[in-house]
Amino acid sequence: MAEQVRRLWTTAGGRLTWPGASLHIAHALSAPAVALMLLLLVGPLVVVLGLSLTDYQLGADALSFIGLDNYIAMAGDRVFWKSLRNTAIYSLVVVPGSVGLGLLAALLIHGVARGQAVYRAVFFLPVMATLIAMALVWEFMLHPGFGLVNLSLRSVGLTPQNWLNDESLALWVLAVIGIWQGFGFNMVLFSAGLLGIPRPLYEAAAIDGVPAGWARFRLVTWPMLAPVTLFVVVVTSIKSFQVFDAVQVLTKGGPNKATEVLVYTLYAEGFEFFRSGYASAVTVVFLTIVMLISVMKTRWLDRRVHYT
Amino acid sequence: MSDIQIRSLSKSFGATRVLNGVSLDVHDGEFISLVGPSGCGKSTLLRILAGLEAQDEGEVRMGGERIDSLAPGARDIAMVFQSYALYPHLSVRDNIAVPLLVRRLNRWQRMPLIGGWWPGGRAIRHQIEAEVQAAARLLDISRLLDRRPGQLSGGQRQRTALGRAMVRRPQAYLMDEPLSNLDANLRVQMRSEIAALHRSRGGTFVYVTHDQTEALTMSTRLAVMMDGVLLQVASPADIYFDPVDLRVAEFVGNPRINLLACDADAHGGILHRNAALGLRLAHRGGMDRRVTVGVRSEAIRLTPRTGEGRLGTVTGHEHLGSEVLVQVTLNDGGAVVVGRRDALGGVPERGAEVSVAFEAGRVLAFGSDGRRLALARAPHG
């Protein structure tokens, strides 16, 4: 690298005053970017890592190093495991749900002759709306007494449910809201992916005798969408691991921790119980999981979905 | 039988009429090229034959049966695309096998995992593998069977696309400018290979190209199209030596045919700048007085200025290797004609005055509507 820079420097007609001069220039030029990166990205990460090894409490004047005690406490914390399990279940429902629904919507919209833009805009609405505001609307709709959902159920003779206060239902309800909120974004990405598939591939499939519909989808659409699908799955996974706002507005982790999720736990620990050290440890676990998803994408999956 | 009859096909895209009552008989086993400048409708015609586009009017028959309402897969045809249209995630082997897999295996036998265990599936797959290998050998891509299209050169992709078309042994092959994405050398090589495939495999070939050299070298017949109309359908020699329309004469031949704007006198004699050319129309009379005279470059004789014919000045050269194109500006009127000389046979210098004469029997005359006009047989003074 340094050698290349030096050669560039000389061929560009510059004077070389001392060996490695160009290297210093290169370092000097990249310094601002490196400094910003350290300050804004790496710095906070290091601070969180450091805090997770202390008993720091928000607002306290002193802190002491307690080693891995926070992590040990976490391992024995029933709420943490419950929270991790809930987040996993939530993701396992929301990722396939919103990816599948997004793909389906994109395929259907791609198939209609007119009004594609209108459909896209409608499905994209939940993405643009603030989830906090939308969560309030959901709260009205799901109200056990006068909510639209229960009124509808009652009018067709089905048993109304106490959606957000039923331990066995609340997490699923949140997952449905998560799907509703997220699939429009995936639909837009899939739509772009569909537009990028060369038409001659479909024509070749038609001439090769591949029947329209499922077989052609399997042969052309699905493999050609693979890079988009991978991206969508990764982004949706990360987003679903970060679920917080709906929980905060609708259930506050309840009833009886049934909707306690990772980010809510670290929020509650950090800003309600002021146990910043412990919250930092939860954050480290959360970041590790998110990072694993990204590493999996670049290390392994990327190679399987690009065909060149 | 795989003769194709096309009857008064018309097709419009919006307000643009792309095909205007095209009728064409493609004989069984022939190699016919559809040529014409881009936008002349040749690709649309091919896509209607393939079933990728529906005609507005007219019909298509193959072996006497109407096929124009059948799905592309139900017509016994294969198509090679300009972009090759290979499935990028499949190996060369699987790409070639697709048409066979789809047609011979049932839904269950095609399933990824259980397909191998479904009754009959394995035997059929073995048979398909053998046929894929045979096609690959023929195209000299046997050692590439496990690669993906992304790992192949343009020529190898083209061969794979040909393999996918051939493996099923369809009655007709439709080719949409299959060589235009290849570099010049490879194009020449693939040209002769496709022609050889046609000879060895049989089948009817319909080949679309805008490259007249391709069309002239490969085909048994050419169909020259312009503005959605078929101008002439004939053998390469007839198209070249005996074009029925000025546009055909202009489109085919390199360098372009030399054209002189002339007039006809009352007796049918042809005058260029009021000087007789020594040519006479076979059917004089008619209202038409404007005549275009066309002479191909090899039918132009350039001799030292003492010779017969008109005088001109050499204004340019173009070396083609074995031959030299000599550009001559005629002294009266300034029309420019291009003649051809053997590179070793002595080429007149730039600025030299030469006599320009037309070889008897090689002069073509066209009326103002572009139609060919017959010339009187007997040459005279």
- DSSP labels for B26-90? EPTT-EEEEE-STTSSHHHHHHHHHTSS--SEEEEEETTEE-TTS-GGGSSEEEE-TT----TTS
Q: In this predicted model, what pLDDT tens digit does every residue of B336-367 receive, in sequence order?
A: 888 888 777 778 888 888 888 888 888 898 98
What was the pLDDT predicted at A1? 55
Is residue A147 situated within a structural domain? yes
| Mean of pLDDT values over B241-255 | 91
A chain contacts of residue B72, beta-carbon cutoff 8 Å: 203, 206-207
Give the pLDDT band (50/70/90) at residue B30.
very high
Is residue A1 situated within a structural domain? no
Phi, psi of B114, rounded to the nearest 5 degrees: -80, -15
> Which three-class secondary structure state does DSSP give residue B355?
strand
Q: Tell me how close the Cα of B299 comes to any Cα of chain A, in angstroms.
A: 44
Q: Is there a contact between A10 and A22 (Cβ–Cβ < 8 Å)?
A: no
Residue of A nearest to B80 (CA): A204
Domain count, chain A: 1
The ipTM value here is: 0.83
B323-330/B310-319 β-pairing? antiparallel
The pLDDT tens digits along chain A (308 residues) read 556 655 555 555 555 556 667 788 888 899 999 999 999 989 988 988 888 888 877 777 777 778 777 788 787 888 888 888 999 999 999 999 999 999 999 999 888 888 888 888 888 888 888 878 888 888 888 888 788 887 888 888 777 777 778 888 888 988 998 999 888 899 999 999 999 999 999 999 999 888 888 888 988 999 999 889 988 998 899 888 888 888 888 888 778 888 888 888 888 887 888 888 888 888 888 889 888 888 888 877 777 776 65
Instruction: Tell me the one-letter amino acid at B319.
Output: H
CB neighbourhood size of A186 (10 A): 28
Whose structure tokens read 């009379």?
Answer: B285
Cross-chain CB nearest to A206 (options B72, B83, B148): B72
What was the pLDDT predicted at B381? 41
A chain contacts of residue B85, beta-carbon cutoff 8 Å: 198, 200-201, 203-204
CB contact under 8 A, A224 and B51: no
Is residue A262 situated within a structural domain? yes
Q: In this predicted model, what pLDDT tens digit does every residue of B52-109 receive, in sequence order?
A: 998 899 999 998 888 888 888 888 899 999 999 999 988 899 899 888 888 887 776 7
How many beta-carbon pairs under 8 angstroms link A with B?
Answer: 67
What was the pLDDT predicted at A104? 93
Is residue A64 situated within a structural domain? no
> Which three-class secondary structure state does DSSP give residue B353?
strand
More confident call, B26 vs A70: B26
What was the pLDDT predicted at B1? 62
Is residue A88 situated within a structural domain? yes
What was the pLDDT predicted at A252? 80
Is residue A43 situated within a structural domain? no
Residue of B nearest to A216 (CA): B102
Nearest residue to B155 (alpha-carbon basis) of B130, B188, B133: B188
Mean pLDDT of chain B: 86
- What tokens were used for B328? 């001559």
- What tokens were used for B333? 């009127």
Is residue A179 situated within a structural domain? yes
B chain contacts of residue A210, beta-carbon cutoff 8 Å: 73, 98, 102
Mutation pick from A199, A208, A225 vs chain B, by most beta carbons of B within 10 Å, is: A208
The CA-atom distances, in angstroms, between B308 and each of A214, B262, B278 are 75, 20, 12
CB contact under 8 A, B77 and A207: yes
Task: DSSP for B299-329, please give it.
Answer: GEEEEETTSSSEEEEEEEEEE-SSEEEEEEE
Dihedral, CA of residue B182, residue B187, residue B193 and residue B197, to nearest 10: 60
**Is residue B222 pLDDT above 90, yes or no?**
yes
Burial of B15 (0-12, 13-18, 19+ CB in 10 A): exposed
DSSP letter at B268? Answer: S
What was the pLDDT predicted at B378? 57
Q: Is there a contact between B33 and B208 (Cβ–Cβ < 8 Å)?
A: yes
Residue of A nearest to B94 (CA): A219
Sheet of strand B204-209, all strands in order from the earlier edge strand to the far edge = B77-80, B172-176, B204-209, B31-35, B221-226, B229-234
Nearest residue to B213 (alpha-carbon basis) of B242, B247, B190: B190
> Which three-class secondary structure state does DSSP give residue A146?
coil
Domain that holds residue A212: 76-303
CB neighbourhood size of B314 (10 A): 19
How far is residue B177's CA from residue A47's CA, in Å, rounded to a whole number?
63
| Mean of pLDDT values over B221-247 | 92
What was the pLDDT predicted at B273? 78
> Which three-class secondary structure state does DSSP give residue B211?
coil
Is residue A270 situated within a structural domain? yes
Nearest residue to B91 (alpha-carbon basis) of B139, B150, B131: B150
Q: By percentage, how much of chain B surpasses pLDDT 90?
A: 23
CB contact under 8 A, B149 and A210: no
What was the pLDDT predicted at A117? 86
What was the pLDDT predicted at A164? 79
More confident call, B274 vs B163: B163
In this structure, what CATH number is given to the domain that contains residue A160?
A: 1.10.3720.10
**Is residue B50 pLDDT above 50, yes or no?**
yes
CB contact under 8 A, A208 and B88: no
The CA-atom distances, in angstroms, between B212 and each of B209, B237, B276 are 7, 12, 34
How far is residue B9's CA from residue A182's CA, in Å, rounded to a whole number?
49
Q: Tell me how close the Cα of A219 comes to any Cα of chain B, in angstroms.
A: 8
Task: DSSP for B73-127, please give it.
Answer: GGSSEEEE-TT----TTS-HHHHHHHHHHHHHS-HHHHSTTGGGTSTTHHHHHHH
What was the pLDDT predicted at A189? 93
Cross-chain CB nearest to A208 (options B89, B98, B149): B98
